[in-house]
């Protein structure tokens, strides 16, 4: 039998390695930004086109590379960070394995210009599919300018698996923020399709957080500072009242590297236990620094998962530090059982002189004398029962508040006869969550676990998921109001201003026209605020913030991939946000209205997100269950 094992060509091996390193355009952005940081850059400019599918360009003013280094950086396992295996356990830089540039070059077209500070001319290298097509001297500023074009141009199958531009842009912005938050001494700029999204000048940590997430964030931050022999902890946590239903601003950095650690995240949640509502998530920006020999960062290709030598100790220190900060800044109410509340003096009375109380006595008061009685329904003036009226009774009789004439109080009841004779519509007005479109078709429903509705038809028994059913009803109603009917809007008496980050504002600007066609009205959308002047009639004023948050999250995720248009996506998002939740108790009329509305929908069996709404069992199957067939 002939030999069947052979060595793979370098370009094939690079493409296989690229599958671990380069999963999407955000992976390329992460590697190029980290290379610029390692080069000591103080100004980094990221330029994107078509969410990085067409162009990813990073321009930095770092140290640059020589002609030889510029060529070697595209070879596999070529690195300047490590020399021997022991160096892997004492790392303080970003990239160190020498796989990133070789993997990127295998699946893209790259043009790189770089120059060292002492040199007059730099080097320009052009690579296509791991092959160097051109190398020449060029005039370029000190630093490195790397342009990655047409990602996955030679692997169409991988390119087809990429998501929409909005989703890929969100992943890129996530990577950009993670690098920018930890290197706040560097000036970052992000441009996408000739539009500036971020311009982050150098400054301190708090300024960087505020520049990314908006000026409103400044008043929400609580500082943390803890220094021990095991770790050094700095950063900020968000005040409990600003916790969110969705995971928002949650960032862990270890030795200037973003990580994901569910175990340490649990320590934060444990510290906030009892302070925030159940189901809410706290925000935090925590920076840990541990000895490099106590952490292993080479257990995952993306280096976002790490392994600590003493996780339990870190857990307790982080939990205690967060609790201490919450108590130090009077966020958590404290109880002092040894303090006597009767001895506490209000601040407004603290410096006032103490005056002796005086007793006043009425010498003419007679407790045995009969008081003046008054009947407001008597036509005559009030009579007294004694001949000699005391001063007390005289003052009562002379009061201007006592009506002395019949007309004085009868004026209050003018027109009561006409109101009594008016025919009043005695139709019952009971608050309901649902309005039926037609006459009732189904009766005798029963709610199970405040989650399912059991109903009986001639053909069998149906078990309906109330949340999914209401989603379908609202979805079709929203689509009908948007497309067939003219969307109705209600003007707000006072405009509402809502604060968002620059990334969220960018999303709302992109869907502003679609939101206006659904009934929303905007006065202005600034860099950090959205001013709402009108809302659809189906939405209450208290639901505006919740609706926008869900819209932004759905737009960032893959929901628009399953939508025909932006309007369809908005209708789906609104239906998911406004539908009744699991655990809501419904009255019998509400249950019947929901079931009847559901079965008048065009697709009553599937929710807007392709989930099964109800399950049925025929009468014959019921008979079989009890051996009655």
Residue 118 backbone dihedrals phi, psi, to 5 degrees:
-70, -20
Q: Please list the residues that pair with 235 across neighbouring strands.
A: 224, 286
Q: Which residues 6+ apart lie within 8 Å of 51 measured at CB?
A: 25, 164, 165, 166, 168, 169, 172, 192
The CATH classification of domain 10-200, taken from the options 3.30.565.10, 3.40.50.460, 3.40.30.10, 3.40.50.1980: 3.30.565.10
Domain boundaries defined on the chain: 10-200, 212-328, 446-618
CA dihedral 179, 183, 185, 190 (to 10 degrees): 0
Sign (positive or negative) of CA dihedral 83, 88, 92, 96: positive
Residue 603 CB: number of other CB atoms within 10 A?
11
205 and 195 Cβ atoms separated by less than 8 Å: no
pLDDT digits (tens, 9 = 90+) for 158-210: 888 888 888 888 899 999 999 999 999 999 999 999 888 899 999 999 999 99
Q: How far apart are the first and last CA of the chain?
A: 65
User: What tokens does 137 get?
Assistant: 């001297």
Find tokens 């709302």 and name the residue: 508
> DSSP readout, 168-204?
HHHHHHHHHHHHHHH-TTSEEEEEETTEEEEEE-S--
490, β-bridge pairs: 535
Residues 6+ apart with CB under 8 A from 34: 94, 95, 179
Q: Which two tokens stand for residue 63?
A: 């140290």
Instruction: Report the pLDDT value the prediction gives residue 558, as an integer from 0 to 100.
Output: 55
pLDDT along the chain (629 residues), means of 10: 72 66 88 90 95 94 90 77 57 61 88 92 92 91 94 85 85 92 94 90 92 86 90 91 82 89 90 84 92 75 76 91 84 48 52 70 76 48 44 42 46 48 44 44 77 82 90 87 75 86 81 83 84 86 85 70 69 87 87 87 87 86 76
Strands, DSSP E only, in 297-423? 307-308
Best CA proximity match to 192, nearest among 161, 164, 166, 162: 166
- Report pLDDT for 205: 92
Give the angle 36-38-44 at the CA atoms, nearest 5°: 25
Quick check: helix, strand or coil at residue 307? strand
What pLDDT, on a 0 to 100 scale, did the predictor assign at position 97?
52
Encoding tokens for residue 358? Answer: 């005086």
Domain spanning 446-618, CATH architecture: 2-Layer Sandwich (3.30)
Contact criterion met (CB below 8 Å) for 104 and 22: yes
**pLDDT on residue 422:** 46
Residues 472, 480 contacting (CB under 8 angstroms): no
The architecture that CATH gives domain 212-328 is 2-Layer Sandwich (3.30)
Q: What is the DSSP string of 83-134?
A: SSGGGGGS--SS--SS-HHHHHHHSSEEEEEEE-SS-SSEEEEEEETTEEEE
Domains 212-328 and 446-618 are alike in CATH topology:
no
Q: Let me know how long the chain is.
A: 629
């Amino acid at each position: 039998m002939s030999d069947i094992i052979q060595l793979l060509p370098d370009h094939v091996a690079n493409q296989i390695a690229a599958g671990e390193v380069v999963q999407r355009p955000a992976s390329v952005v992460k590697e190029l930004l980290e290379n610029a940081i390692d080069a000591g850059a103080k100004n980094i400019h990221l330029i994107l086109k078509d969410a990085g599918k067409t162009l990813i360009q990073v321009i930095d003013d770092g140290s640059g590379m020589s002609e030889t280094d510029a060529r070697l950086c595209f070879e596999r396992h070529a690195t300047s960070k490590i020399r021997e295996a022991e160096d892997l356990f004492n790392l303080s830089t970003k990239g160190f394995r020498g796989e990133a540039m070789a993997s990127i070059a295998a699946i893209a077209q790259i043009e790189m210009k770089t120059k060292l500070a002492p040199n007059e001319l730099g080097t320009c290298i052009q690579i296509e599919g791991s092959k160097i097509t051109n190398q020449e001297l060029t005039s370029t500023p000190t630093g490195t300018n790397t342009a990655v074009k047409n990602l996955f141009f030679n692997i169409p199958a991988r390119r087809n698996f990429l998501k929409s531009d909005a989703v890929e842009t969100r992943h890129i912005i996530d990577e950009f923020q993670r690098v920018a938050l930890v290197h706040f001494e560097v000036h970052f700029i992000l441009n996408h399709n000739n539009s500036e999204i971020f311009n982050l000048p150098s400054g301190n940590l708090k300024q960087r957080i505020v520049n990314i997430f908006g000026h409103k964030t400044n008043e929400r931050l609580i500082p943390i500072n803890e220094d021990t022999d095991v770790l050094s902890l700095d950063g900020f946590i968000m005040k409990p009242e600003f916790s969110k239903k969705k995971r928002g601003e949650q960032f862990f950095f270890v030795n200037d590297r973003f990580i994901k650690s569910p175990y340490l995240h649990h320590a934060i949640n444990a510290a906030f236990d009892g302070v925030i509502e159940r189901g809410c998530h706290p925000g935090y920006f925590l920076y840990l620094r541990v000895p490099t020999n106590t952490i292993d960062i080479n257990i995952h290709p993306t280096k976002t998962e790490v392994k600590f030598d003493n996780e339990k100790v870190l857990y307790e220190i982080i939990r205690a530090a967060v609790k201490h900060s919450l108590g130090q800044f009077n966020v958590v109410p404290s109880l002092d059982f040894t303090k006597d509340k009767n001895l506490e003096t209000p601040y407004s009375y603290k410096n006032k002189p103490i005056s002796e109380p005086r007793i006043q006595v009425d010498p003419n008061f007679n407790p045995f004398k009969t008081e003046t009685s008054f009947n407001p329904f008597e036509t005559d003036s009030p009579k007294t029962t004694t001949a000699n009226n005391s001063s007390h009774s005289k003052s009562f009789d002379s009061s201007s508040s006592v009506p002395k004439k019949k007309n004085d109080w009868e004026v209050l009841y003018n027109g009561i006869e006409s109101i009594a004779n008016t025919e009043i519509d005695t139709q019952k007005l009971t608050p309901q969550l649902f309005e039926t479109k037609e006459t009732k078709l189904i009766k005798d429903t029963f709610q199970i676990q405040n989650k399912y509705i059991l109903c009986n038809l001639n053909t069998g028994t149906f078990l309906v998921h109330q949340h999914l059913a209401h989603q379908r009803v609202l979805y079709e109603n929203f689509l009908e109001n948007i497309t067939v009917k003219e969307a109705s809007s209600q003007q707000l008496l006072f405009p509402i201003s809502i604060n968002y980050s620059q990334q969220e504002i960018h999303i709302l600007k992109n869907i502003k026209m679609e939101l206006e066609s659904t009934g929303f009205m905007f006065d202005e959308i600034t860099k950090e605020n959205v001013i709402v002047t009108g809302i659809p009639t189906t939405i209450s004023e208290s639901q505006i913030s919740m609706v926008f948050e869900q819209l932004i999250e759905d737009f960032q995720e893959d929901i628009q991939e399953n939508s025909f248009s932006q309007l369809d996506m908005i209708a789906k998002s609104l239906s998911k946000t406004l539908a009744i939740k699991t655990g809501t108790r419904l009255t019998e009329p509400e249950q019947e209205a929901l079931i009847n509305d559901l079965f008048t929908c065009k697709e009553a069996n599937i929710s807007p997100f392709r989930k099964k709404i109800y399950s049925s069992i025929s009468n014959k199957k019921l008979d079989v269950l009890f051996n009655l067939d």
